[in-house]
Structure 1
Amino acid sequence: MLVVVRDNNIDQALKALKRKMQREGVFREMRDRKAYEKPSERRNREKAQAIRRARKAARKAAQREGLLPMPKPKVRAGAPRR
């Protein structure tokens, strides 16, 4: 993972690094590996994650087809309101 430091701004580079690590799932993996997980617990967790992914994909497909209403756009902090 590469983060460019511009104008000796370490704070900005650190923020970018944390954002990249968050997207890659490094923090989640560190938390998961902190303690031993039994194989049966791992299978159950992975199965639950697969079910969540499938439900999310089905929900998105239904929204695209017009069967469900589209989610309302999120308002970002600091963004001008319309």
Structure 2
Amino acid sequence: MQVLVRDNNVDQALRALKRKLQREGVFREMRARKAYEKPSERRIRERAEAVRRQRKLARKKMQREGLLPTRGKTARSR
């Protein structure tokens, strides 16, 4: 992975690097490898993640079809 430093702005390059690492899932993997996870716990976690993903996709689909109100600034403001 490579990040360019422009105009000696190391802080901006560091933020870009952190964003790239976050997008690639490096932080999540480091946290997962910190301690051993039993295979049964791993299966349970992966199933829960799959259910969460499916619910999120279904919710977004319903919002696109107009069956659910979209969340955001316009829905909350009065």
Q: TM-score range by the shorter chain?
A: 0.7 to 0.9
Partner of 2:52: 52
Higher RCO (C-alpha under 8 Å, 6+ residues apart)? 2
Instruction: Name stretches of at least 5 consecutive residues in structure 1 with no aligned partner.
Output: 75-82
Partner of 2:72: 72
Q: Could you tell me the percent identity over the aligned residues?
A: 74
**Structure 1 runs (4+) greater than 3 angstroms displaced:** none
RMSD: 1.4
Amino acid at match of 2:44: N
Secondary structure, counterpart of 2:56 in structure 1: helix
Normalising by structure 2, we get a TM-score of: 0.88
Amino acid at match of 2:33: R
Normalising by structure 1, we get a TM-score of: 0.84
Q: Give, in angstroms, the shift of residue 11 of structure 1.
A: 1.4
Instruction: Name stretches of at least 5 consecutive residues in structure 2 with no aligned partner.
Output: none
Count of paired positions: 74
Partner of 2:27: 27
String of CA shifts for 1:28-56, please: whole Å, max 9, x gaps. 11011000000000000000000000000
String of CA shifts for 1:5-41, please: whole Å, max 9, x gaps. 1112111111110111112111111011000000000
Q: Give, in angstroms, the shift of residue 73 of structure 1.
A: 4.0
Higher helix share: 2
